[in-house]
């Protein structure tokens, strides 16, 4: 959706994004508490820290920091440095090097890259959206995207790399890129997919894609997780099996029930009604962010809101698509529903900025 079209929407207060966000967070805590007390308490800590972000950004003038180009560029360079560092010293977890471990703390540099790219593109396109069709503008924006994308793909974390591409492509379209150049951007995507298939993907990742088209085969291997997810969802009924009563979740048949397949865990115990309620709340959150962006005075702020919706929306579609067997398993969290400090804090950091944008407008 072009930024100009957002102005036709009604203007809400930032409080209207906190209600749907609270619904999603409550669902997350219910799912985690039924699976593991450890995950429940750790997630509660992440959420508390995220709420602190929101409070601090609303209380202090964030423009005093994020308003400087050198800070945004420095943040981007730092995120790229961490992406390089994780390839050398990051632990190998399930065939992927995505984490940096610092004593008792660990985080995913890819999440920092998403934030830094949103801020960088918001600043870049807010000054150049009138000249977005120029090849120089497109090329520079492509360089900003391709550096972290290649490093993330090398981990390999192709789901996050796809989100990074979505940020770049979304900003181009929203800035009014002509149709012929949109097709060229899509051609870049096709070329990247071809390159990754032949030289970037590991065997287990290719197996996920190949067996996605043959769901009846390799039921104990590449298709196992998706099949168990479908069983969990298909057996839930309208109201679910009840808190702590999901057989696939509680008996360990469902892999990654707190992250990749958290939606399946939710639906199994709370039914289709519970799943639909959370999904509706999440989309209400996205709509609230778009409306706040439409009311913002500066294009920089509008673009931050737009970039946030791109990230949250893509991650929701990829996570939900994985749980329903609509796309191959990509290992992307459901924003604010999945367990994980990096994902939760990234989401809250963006929400904190958006909340501050609304406070700046309303006073």
pLDDT at residue 351, as a whole number = 95
Among 145, 135, 146, which Cα is nearest to 171's? 145
| Distance (Å, whole) CA 77 – CA 83 | 10
Give the bridge partners for 328, in sequence order.
Answer: none
Give the start-to-end residue ranges of the domains of the chain: 3-362
What is the DSSP-derived secondary structure letter of residue 199? I
Average the pLDDT over 206-227 and give the result.
Answer: 70
| Distance (Å, whole) CA 204 – CA 182 | 32
Q: In terms of C-beta density within 10 A (0-12 exposed, 13-18 middle, 19 or more buried), how is residue 220 classed?
A: exposed
Average the pLDDT over 57-86 and give the result.
Answer: 84
Most confident range (mean pLDDT) of 15-19, 192-196, 206-210, 211-215 is 15-19
Show the CA angle centred on residue 260, arms to residues 259 and 262, nearest 5°: 60
Average the pLDDT over 291-304 and give the result.
Answer: 90
Q: How many CB atoms lie within 10 A of CB 24?
A: 20
What are residue 353's phi and psi, to 5 degrees? -65, -45
pLDDT at residue 129, as a whole number = 65
Among 268, 311, 291, 273, which Cα is nearest to 354's? 291
In this prediction, residue 6 has a pLDDT band, given cuts at 50, 70 and 90, of very low
pLDDT at residue 137, as a whole number = 85
Determine contact, residues 117/145, Cβ cutoff 8 Å.
yes
| Distance (Å, whole) CA 99 – CA 139 | 30
| Distance (Å, whole) CA 343 – CA 334 | 9
DSSP alpha helix (H) spans, the chain:
3-6, 15-35, 37-59, 63-66, 69-89, 109-128, 135-153, 158-174, 179-195, 203-212, 224-234, 247-250, 262-295, 299-324, 341-362
Classified as helix, coil or strand, 157 is coil
State pLDDT tens for residues 138-164.
889 989 999 999 899 888 888 898 899
pLDDT at residue 302, as a whole number = 92
Cis peptide before 156 (omega within 30 of 0): yes
pLDDT at residue 313, as a whole number = 96
In this prediction, residue 112 has a pLDDT band, given cuts at 50, 70 and 90, of very high
Determine contact, residues 23/278, Cβ cutoff 8 Å.
yes
């Amino acid at each position: 959706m072009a930024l100009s079209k957002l102005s036709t929407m009604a203007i809400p207060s930032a409080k209207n994004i906190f209600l749907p966000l609270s619904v999603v967070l409550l669902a997350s805590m219910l799912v985690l508490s039924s699976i593991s007390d450890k995950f429940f308490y750790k997630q509660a800590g992440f959420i508390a820290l995220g709420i602190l972000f929101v409070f601090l950004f609303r209380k202090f003038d964030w423009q005093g920091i994020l308003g400087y180009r050198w800070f945004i560029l420095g943040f981007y360079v730092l995120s790229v440095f961490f992406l390089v560092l994780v390839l050398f010293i990051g632990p190998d977890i399930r065939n992927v090097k995505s984490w940096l471990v610092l004593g008792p703390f660990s985080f995913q540099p890819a999440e920092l890259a998403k934030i830094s790219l949103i801020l960088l593109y918001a600043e870049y396109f807010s000054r150049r959206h009138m000249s977005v069709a120029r090849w120089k503008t497109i090329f520079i924006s492509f360089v900003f995207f391709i550096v972290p994308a290649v490093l993330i793909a090398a981990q390999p974390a192709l789901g996050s790399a796809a989100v990074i591409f979505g940020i770049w492509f979304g900003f181009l379209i929203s800035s009014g890129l002509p149709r012929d150049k949109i097709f060229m951007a899509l051609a870049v995507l096709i070329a990247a997919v071809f390159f990754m298939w032949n030289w970037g993907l590991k065997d287990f990742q290719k197996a996920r894609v190949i067996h996605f088209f043959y769901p009846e085969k390799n039921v104990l291997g590449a298709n196992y997780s998706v099949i168990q997810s479908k069983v969990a969802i298909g057996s839930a009924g309208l109201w679910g099996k009840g808190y702590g009563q999901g057989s696939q979740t509680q008996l360990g048949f469902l892999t990654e029930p707190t992250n990749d397949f958290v939606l399946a865990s939710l639906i199994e115990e709370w039914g289709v009604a519970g799943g639909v309620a959370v999904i509706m709340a999440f989309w209400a959150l996205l709509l609230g962010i778009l409306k706040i962006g439409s009311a913002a005075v500066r294009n920089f702020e509008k673009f931050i809101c737009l970039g946030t919706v791109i990230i949250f929306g893509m991650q929701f579609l990829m996570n939900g698509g994985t749980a329903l067997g609509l796309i191959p398993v990509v290992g992307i969290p459901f924003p604010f529903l999945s367990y994980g400090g990096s994902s939760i804090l990234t989401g809250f950091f963006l929400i904190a900025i958006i909340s501050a944008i609304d406070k700046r407008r309303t006073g």
